[in-house]
A and B are shown apart, each in its own frame.
Chain A
């Protein structure tokens, strides 16, 4: 079926560098996307979201880019810190029908000193 997937299962970056985590989706009807961060043994933590009528949205040290033409989503983390080490998931939602989020497998980000 249609799904959300991630390009890389693991990403290792040095502290202070910028990180880019990518996500592909296949459902052209998806109109809302969320990035979550999940630390070991904890629930997913909201990072940033973006609606399909936007191309870019910025938060504190994070930027999400949406390319609807190629159905691609990315999360950019500026000046990556050791506390950013976690698994990152993108999730999609279709419409406001109350439907559940559809998650990908996740990308593990490891920040090295």
Chain B
């Protein structure tokens, strides 16, 4: 499968614990995006990378959230001291930044439930 992959697919954690999600983009894509989606809503932008550089962060990305893409390939999203309000689907997308107006392709998402 050459699409975007995400792991784990599901995560249940207790409030206050730290969680980390991984995203593997389509191999030739140099731009990688993280979104959050709550029930009944469209995805909301969190942050994006061009290669290993994190170029933009949304105001939704609180200090408890951190994202990395150390080698410009896979990316991780960590949430520290999770809160119940962090429960959501976390989506990763990638695109080929070399072409103008290229489509973003999404992974299957990681569904987080904070108890």
Residues of chain A at the chain B interface (Cβ within 8 Å): 31-32, 34, 36, 41-46, 49, 51, 89, 91, 93, 96, 98-106
Do A100 and B103 touch (CB < 8 A)?
A: no
Considering the complex of A and B, which 6 residue pairs feature the smallest CB-CB distances, nearest first? A103-B42, A100-B45, A43-B106, A32-B101, A44-B106, A43-B109
Residue of A42, A102, A103, A106 near B108 (CB, 8 A) is A42
Alpha-carbon gap, A43 to B42, bound state (A) = 11
Q: Which of B25-49 contact A (CB under 8 A)?
A: 31, 33, 35, 40-45, 48
Residues of chain B at the chain A interface (Cβ within 8 Å): 4, 6, 31, 33, 35, 40-45, 48, 50, 55-56, 58, 91, 97, 100-101, 103-109, 111
Chain A residue nearest in CB terms to B47:
A100
Nearest CB of chain A from residue B2's CB, rounded to whole Å: 14
Do B48 and A98 touch (CB < 8 A)?
A: yes
Do B97 and A98 touch (CB < 8 A)?
A: yes
Chain B residue nearest in CB terms to A90:
B42
Do A98 and B31 touch (CB < 8 A)?
A: yes
Do B109 and A98 touch (CB < 8 A)?
A: no
Q: Which residues of A contact B58 (CB under 8 A)?
A: 100
Residue of A31, A98, A105 near B41 (CB, 8 A) is A105
Nearest CB of chain A from residue B46's CB, rounded to whole Å: 8
Q: Which residues of A contact B48 (CB under 8 A)?
A: 98, 100
6 more A-B residue pairs beyond the given contacts A89-B43, A98-B48, A103-B43, with a C-beta to C-beta distance below 8 A:
A42-B108, A46-B105, A96-B101, A100-B56, A101-B43, A102-B45
